[in-house]
Amino acid sequence: MPIMYDESQRLFHLQTKDSSYILRIAKDAYPSHVYWGPKLDAARFRGRVEATERCSFHPNFIAEDRTFAFDTLPQEYPSYGTGDYREPAVHVAFPNGTTVTDLRYESHAITAGKPALPGLPATYVEDDAEAETLELRLRDAVSGLVVVLQYSVFAGFDAIARSARFENEGAAPVVLQRALSASVDFATDDFDVLQLSGAWTRERYPHRRPLAPGILRVDSKRGSSSHQQNPFLALLAKDATERHGEVYGFSLVYSGSFVAQAEAEQYGTSRVGIGIQPFDFSWKLEPGETFQTPEAVLVRSSEGLGGMSRTYHKLYRTRLCRGAFRDKARPILVNNWEATYFDFNAEKIKRIAAAGKELGIELFVLDDGWFGRRDSDNSSLGDWVPDKRKLPEGLDALARDITATGMEFGLWFEPEMVSPDSDLYRAHPDWCLHVPDRSRTMGRQQLILDLSRRDVCDYIVESVSAILESAPITYVKWDMNRNMTEIGSALLPPDRQRETAHRYMLGLYDALERITSRFPHILFESCSGGGGRFDPGMLYYMPQTWTSDDTDAVERLKIQYGTSIVYPASAMGAHVSAVPNHQVHRSTPIETRGHVAMSGNFGYELDLTKFTEDEKDAVRGQVAQYKALRELIQFGDFYRLKSPFEGNETAWMFVSSDRNEAFAAFFRVLAAPNAPLHRLTLQGLDPRKAYRLEETGETFGGDELMHFGLPVTGLRGDFQSKLFVFKAVE
């Protein structure tokens, strides 16, 4: 049983694959955190905790017990106002203007399986035996507010999914001002904190720094998870490395503004909280109404960052992503964006597609510029009607001409946006996010549709569906190219305006659910200026994301390495683009560009019709090699071997679940004179098995490859790479 309850101690013992998470109902009323770490014997555990009086500045909620103070109590869901001066998980305003909440344990339930979260993306199970769920019901007696803490414990993963549901059982409305998904109190602050941060075209760089007294916060106030920060934070033991040590990960299944923070306090303890961004957020909860927070996925690893990553990878790949493409090999594609931008016609598109077919590419994707009068980024978003100037015979004819050759056809959309120069905006100027009497700030010459409105969501669903039904389309790239400003809705009353951003996300999720359910044969890829919304929430609807608009091979080493801290290779779109690269103007060999892109969902983003014969031969080889390896790459276990943030070399590898196949990639950025000889040590192999290196036919022991390694030779010049493919032999 993953969840055990000891009534005599009022103790809940949650057991994942190799971990225990323990909480107690202190004083028969307050959920208190006891332990999270390596698995303990539930029958023997007593969890003895010393209770001592600390100092008179800690208010004692129970007057006769001066050892009991909320300011020092490790809590499961701390609230504001009764003596805990650390960051709370919940902050509520009541009709009399007060914000004091006293949430006390009322009851609990333990059930098999894992319930869905209404209207929100979340991890799931396919059989109730895969998980158990604990629900703790807490009540504020004065207001009638009930908070239900949900803990879903996965039997096969070191992972716990947490969320909170608010129910107003009182007679008056209350206003949620802060409603985090999870909070965990640790008995020590002797940690480093890891975050994934960056900017457009350099997303998700890992940053590690010591936790010090005060609050370390990563967040987004942009209305999306953002290029700048990712909804993830991890605590690392000081000695934790890629391969060894204790790591605690917190990942939020949400695509809007968020906060993730770690607080170190006066007695050497720490608190982590994660959830919806409380800045400029509130939610009015009328009597009888409920509010559900997004889900936070907590992962513990004793095998360092790599162990944490592989847990997230498998869980998100198999129990967050859904649909026909969850377990299906993804096609190799060519996208015309960097080949043509807005300047194309049907014949040009068909020539690129034909060149791709000749090289073994399986899918052609028509990017921006096919609709309205879209010759630049200043018009036509919202007018999802094919442009007959560029496609005189229509979109359907183009798609059928391409699919007749044996290739599939895909299409780019940006459904959440509207151009002021569009028929849609002229007809419905109130359909965008806006605030009365304030300017409508432009971003990329566009505004954001108000997806908190049902009529706007219906328009998006029906207009996109009409296009998808009009032609043989099997892939959609769903883009979103600006962040929110003037966050207001014409349909919400004044006291609900601060609900707009979250209602937008609920509307988006509803539209995505309707569209993806209506077209289960279509592979959807999320995009937001590249990686500006690369988060678990989007993966629930779209199993892959365009990793970054930066397609330079050297830059992608860092971007893809950092992204892999949480997200599997099957989620990462990675393309070979032209040189000099359009973002950084660097020229790298096509072999290296191919090897980097092969480490995700492989494709090309350039004008194939301009290739030389040598380049065509190189691409044919890359395509053939990726087809042979793609199930291993997309669904194997991933190991980071060398970090691009620590030196001139990068390496990573993929290993099949049965450990019979492995693919390793090594990259050297700059050549050095008289450089030392290097050996590459691998991971994840079976030390008892022998492996044949497919390139040379040589045989190595798995133990030899992991401990002694193999030499990396034959590299000449800058920006070089080398691949190693191994298969187990008898």
Q: Which residues are catalytic?
A: 479, 549
Two structure tokens written together for 308 = 């944490």
Tokens 């790949």 belong to: 317
Round to whole Å and give the CA distance between 52 and 100.
26
84 Rama class: left (phi>0) / alpha (psi -120 to 50) / beta? beta
Two structure tokens written together for 152 = 């879903």
Detail the DSSP E strand segments found in 187-294.
191-199, 202-210, 214-219, 232-237, 247-253, 258-264, 270-276, 283-285, 290-292
Two structure tokens written together for 6 = 């000891």
Query: Is residue 192 a contact partner of residue 270, using CB atoms and an 8 Å limit?
Result: no
Q: What angle do CA 614, 615, 621 make, to 5 degrees?
A: 95
The Cα-based distances of 689 to 204, 309, 727 in angstroms read: 36, 25, 10
Tokens 């999320």 belong to: 526
The Cα-based distances of 366 to 56, 265, 362, 413, 729 in angstroms read: 68, 53, 14, 10, 44
Round to whole Å and give the CA distance between 51 and 56.
15
Measure CA of the first residue to CA of the last residue in the chain; give whole Å.
39
Round to whole Å and give the CA distance between 225 and 532.
7
- SS3 string, 628-665, reads HHHHHHHHCEEEEEECCCCCCEEEEEEECCCCCEEEEE
What single DSSP character describes residue 303? B
The Cα-based distances of 704 to 666, 694, 708 in angstroms read: 18, 17, 5
Contacts of 469 (CB under 8 A, 6+ apart): none
User: Among 604, 667, 576, 665, which residue's Cα sits nearest to residue 629?
Assistant: 665
Two structure tokens written together for 373 = 């009068």
| DSSP-derived 3-state class of residue 94 | coil
DSSP states of 135-175 as a string?
A: EEEEEETTTTEEEEEEEEEESSSSEEEEEEEEEE-SSS-EE
Peptide bond into 173 cis (omega under 30): no
Q: Which amino acid is at 122?
A: A
Round to whole Å and give the CA distance between 591 and 665.
12
Two structure tokens written together for 691 = 């492996």
